[in-house]
Structure 1
Amino acid sequence: MGMLLLALVFLSIALQIITRFVLRDPLFWTEEAARYLYVWMVAIGSADVVRSRSHITMDVFYMLLPVRLRLALQLVFHVAIFGCLAVLAWYGTLGTMRAHSVMSVALRVPESLLYGALPVGAVLMALRVAFIFTQDVVALIRGEVEDTGEAA
């Protein structure tokens, strides 16, 4: 899905460049379409990064801890992140509902299509965090924790 959105962003921007500089008659909607697509790409991509545990981390001191303590601490982080994402999804939904009556300038679609990326992305990330939390709890209970030299 992310690659499709990236391709659509690229096509929208390329279309804007061609119509503006080659045809000298720019399309009015391409910049706004690219912005909407980009926001959705980031929201969906963030959930994928959570799934693969690829977010940037500062783990210098974290890596000095014993392996089981690192995993236990990671569980605390998962709960805190889940809570933040739940708040983000809640208030993002409220903002999206408020923005529904406002129309975008160029595309003439409800602004809620743009704002909706926030709660959707937050819910997708929260689901992924909950799944990872479950995996880590099972690993901790079963003792399937090994020191790979990487952050949990």
Structure 2
Amino acid sequence: MVRIFDRALEAVACTLLFVLLVTVLLGVITRATGEPLIWTDEGARFVMVWLASFGWMIAGRRRAHVRIRYFQDLLPPALHRGTEVVIQLAMVALGCALAWYGVYLVRRNQDLEATSLPISMAWLYIPMIPAGLLMAVQGVAQAIERGKLVSTSPLSEELVE
């Protein structure tokens, strides 16, 4: 089930990338012909926010975000594991806060219409909600995983590396 979810995230991100490329290309071509479409810039902006959010979710699922662990790696294994759990719980709090604020922004902007597109400005903020929730769920899963590791297990050595 998780694999299907990850593949769906990737499929949506690929589709958004294609839509972004077509939108930008359409804007370039119509400007070059002297008949620019006014909605392409704003449309590209909306799609870019969605694409960035899906990229963020994919990177979170793959654990591919940049982390600097220099000082954490100097800690003994048990303390290293404890700080990792605290970091993941902070990610849970941040994810929940982002989702909560995303809901607030969607509700606040749902009656505002975009300048050149006939859609609500709320669409710009909607991807914050699933991205924040996924960050929170991922943080809980990683906190549980890190908390269960025993300092003598082979996995604990990976944490220190």
Give TM class, smaller chain: 0.7 to 0.9
Please identify which structure carries the higher helix content.
2
Per the alignment, residue 3 of structure 1 pairs with: 14
Cα distance change on mapping 1:149 and 1:90 into 2, 3 Å: closer
Tell which deviates more after alignment, 114-123 or 10-19: 114-123
Q: Which residue of 2 aligns with 1:127?
A: 137
Task: Indicate yes or no: 2:51 matched with 1:41.
Answer: yes
Q: What 5-or-longer segments of structure 1 have no aligned partner?
A: none
C-alpha contact 2:150 2:156 (8 A) present in aligned 1: no
Question: What is the aligned length?
Answer: 150
Q: Which runs of 5+ in 2 are unaligned?
A: 1-11
Tell me which moved more, 8-17 or 67-76: 67-76
Q: 2:61 aligned to 47, 51, 60, which one?
A: 51
Counterpart selection for 1:87 from 97, 110, 130: 97
- SS of the equivalent of 1:146 reads helix
8 Å CA contact 2:149–2:156 kept in 1: the answer is no
Cα displacement (A) at 1:146: 3.4
Q: TM-score, normalised by structure 1?
A: 0.87
Farther-moved stretch of structure 1 (2-11 vs 75-84): 2-11
CA distance in 2, matches of 1:149, 1:135: 12
- Alignment equivalent of 2:115, drawn from 92, 105, 129: 105
Find out whether 1:13 has 2:19 as its counterpart: no
Range moving further from structure 2, 12-21 or 42-51: 42-51
* Corresponding residue number in structure 2 for 1:72: 82
In 2, Cα distance between the equivalents of 1:139 and 1:7? 41
Which letter maps to 1:79?
Answer: L
Deviations 1:88-125 (A, max 9, x none): 21122011101000010111101111111222211122
Query: Share of identical aligned residues, percent?
Result: 25
Distance in 2 (alpha carbons) for counterparts of 1:52 and 1:36 = 25
**C-alpha deviation, 1:56, in angstroms:** 1.2
Q: CA deviation at 1:142?
A: 8.7
Q: Quick one: which amino acid aligns to residue 54 of structure 2?
A: I
Counterpart CA distance in 2 for 1:149 and 1:93 is 35
State the shift of 1:149 in Å: 7.0
